[in-house]
Amino acid sequence: MIDDATLAGWENDIERMSPPIVKPDMSPWLCSWPDSSKQGQGFPRRFWKKWCETYRINPMLHLFCGSSTEGDVRIDIRKDSGANIVGDFLAVQREILRQGPYKSAFADPPYTQEFANEWGVICPRPSSILHIMREAVVANGIIGILHLQVLRPIRGLQVVAWHPVF
């Protein structure tokens, strides 16, 4: 029979050893319609302000930046974008890491092959995007991705929020 004092000691140990359980924030973000005044597939209008206020920490890596000039290092495959590194995100991976590390990273990739066709590219795999961001960002940094799939985290990442964007 285990006495109460021993049991309390075990419970204390378990509490100390377990990683903190973070309940993901699932609050919806009301962002309005996409703003395609600068290029197609632009952010929903109020999205970027919300991301920056809630999660952005500089220096920030911005993948698939499109027309945006926000972020210390910005990647896009098109020259006529706001990117300061132009190329396929996988091909420029080394350069991304060389210019890091970053405290946060954000990606707005094409979500499906249909969207990717507009840029003449193969639809990027979410797991490849998460891998690059994980490598580029410091421990306890923040990674964000705007996607229509609900993405599973890859190893080493912890979900702190899933915001349905309307």
Ligand X SMILES: C[S@@+](CC[C@H](N)C(=O)[O-])C[C@H]1O[C@@H](n2cnc3c(N)ncnc32)[C@H](O)[C@@H]1O
In the list 31, 96, 105, 110, the residue contacting ligand X (rule: CB under 6 A) is: 110
Contact predicate 78/86, CB 8 Å: yes
To the nearest whole angstrom, how small is the minimum distance from the Cβ of residue 108 to ligand X?
Answer: 4
Q: How far apart are CA 4 and CA 124, in angstroms?
A: 55
Q: How far is the CB of 141 from ligand X (least distance, A)?
A: 20
Asked if omega into 59 is within 30° of 0 (cis), the reply is yes
DSSP conformation class of 161? B
| Side-chain half-sphere CA neighbours of 43 within 13 A | 22
Q: Which stretch binds ligand X (CB under 6 A): 20-28, 33-41, 131-139, 148-156?
A: 33-41
Binding piece for ligand X, criterion CB under 6 A, among 19-27, 98-106, 107-115, 134-142: 107-115
Is 93 an interacting residue with respect to ligand X (CB under 6 A)?
no
Q: Which is nearer to ligand X, 9 or 125 (CB)?
A: 125
Whether the CA torsion 25, 29, 47, 49 is positive or negative: it is negative
Write out the binding residues for ligand X, residues 53-82 only, by CB under 6 A.
64, 66-68, 75-78, 81
The residue assigned the tokens 């990117």 is 83
Shortest Cβ 20–ligand X spacing (Å): 32
Taking Cα atoms as reference points, which of 142, 160, 158 lies closest to residue 52? 142
Pull the structure tokens for residue 100. 């890091």
**Comparison of 12 and 45: residue with beta carbon closer to ligand X:** 45
Regarding 95 and contact with ligand X (CB under 6 A), the answer is: no
Binding site for ligand X (CB under 6 A): 38-39, 41-43, 64, 66-68, 75-78, 81, 88-89, 108-110, 119, 121, 124
